[in-house]
Structures are given as structure tokens and as C-alpha cells.
């Protein structure tokens, strides 16, 4: 945020053709607020730092261009990061991994409250088998068969795991 504030200060100096009006405004703010002009906050440069930067822009006219370029590069990097994160969370295996972990966590918590719920075991068996965690899938299918020995899906999938493992 500080760099955007600095960019605004520099833009005002560029727009007016000189930094003095902005400097006078900043000094007046410092005087009226009663706080030290050297005291920054977590999201603002101090008035002294802002004024110093404006004076430097008078000495070095390229300072404004360099700072604007830095802010533009930061924004490009930020938006690339956001786009990459959006892609990763929606279209990559990361999304499926997060979903499977979340569902596994929820289903395991449900088992604590209701250890005889066959549907919970079916959900876990499906997720474990999809993630190729065959030992845990075997455990879940065995529990399904413990609760319902005639469950065709569990019999078939457990047989497949045992035959291919």
C-alpha cells in the first residue's frame, strides 16, 4: 500500500509540474495532526519520508518513471500469482487433493460419532481407492462387509484390491 501512496504523491507532483504544493499539503497535515512528521504507520510512509521522496523527484526526474515501473511490475506479478493460484485451485490435481483430504477428514470425524454408519465407510473406501491408498481402502471395504456381508460393491472392490495388490 505504501508504494501506491508514493505513486500518488509522485503523480501529483508530475501533474502540477512541481512537488512544492504537495509538500506544503503534507507538511500542513503533519502540523494539524499534532503527530511527529517522522512517525510512519503500518500502511503509510512518514510525512518526512514522503516529502523527501518528492524533493528527490525534483532532483531526479526519472524517479517517477522508475517508481511507476516498479508498481506496474508488482501489479503484474500479483495478478500472475492470483491467476496461477486460481488455476491451481480449479483445474490442477491440487483441487482434487484438497477435496479428498477435506472429505476424508470429515468422514473420519463422522466415524467417531457414528462408527456403524455404512455410508461413511463407503465414502472413505471410494476416496481411498481413488487416491490409490489401497490398504486404507481395504480396511474401509472390510468394515462395510462387517456391517453388511452381502454388499456387492464392497465384495467386488475388495476382491479387485486383493487380486491386484
Q: What is the mean pLDDT of residues 60-84?
A: 95
162 confidence band (pLDDT: 50, 70, 90): very high
What CATH number is given for 93-164 in this structure? 1.25.40.10
Q: Round to whole Å and give the CA distance between 45 and 36.
A: 12
* Mean pLDDT along residues 62-89: 94
Cα dihedral 36→39→44→46 (10° resolution) = 70
Predicted local confidence at residue 1, as pLDDT: 67
Enter the pTM of the model.
Answer: 0.59
Grid cell locating 117: 454408519
Domain ranges of the chain: 2-90, 93-164
118-139 per-position pLDDT tens digit: 999 999 999 999 999 999 999 9
> What CA–CA distance (Å, rounded) separates 132 from 110?
22
Least confident of 15-29, 37-51, 76-90, 99-113: 37-51
Report the C-alpha gap between 29 and 27 in whole angstroms. Answer: 5
Amino acid at each position: 500500500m505504501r508504494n501506491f501512496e508514493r505513486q500518488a504523491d509522485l503523480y501529483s507532483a508530475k501533474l502540477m509540474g512541481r512537488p512544492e504544493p504537495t509538500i506544503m499539503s503534507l507538511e500542513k497535515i503533519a502540523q494539524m495532526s499534532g503527530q511527529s512528521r517522522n512517525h510512519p504507520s503500518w500502511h503509510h510512509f512518514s510525512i518526512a519520508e514522503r516529502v523527501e521522496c518528492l524533493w528527490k523527484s525534483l532532483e531526479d526526474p526519472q524517479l517517477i518513471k522508475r517508481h511507476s515501473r516498479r508498481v506496474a511490475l508488482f501489479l503484474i506479478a500479483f495478478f500472475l500469482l492470483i491467476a496461477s493460484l486460481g488455476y491451481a485451485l480449479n483445474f490442477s490435481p491440487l483441487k482434487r487433493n484438497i477435496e479428498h483430504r477435506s472429505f476424508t477428514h470429515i468422514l473420519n470425524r463422522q466415524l467417531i460419532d457414528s462408527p456403524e454408519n455404512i455410508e461413511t465407510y463407503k465414502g472413505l473406501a471410494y476416496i481411498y481407492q481413488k487416491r490409490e491408498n489401497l490398504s486404507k481402502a481395504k480396511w474401509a471395504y472390510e468394515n462395510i462387509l462387517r456391517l453388511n456381508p452381502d454388499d456387492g460393491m464392497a465384495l467386488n472392490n475388495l476382491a479387485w484390491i486383493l487380486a491386484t495388490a
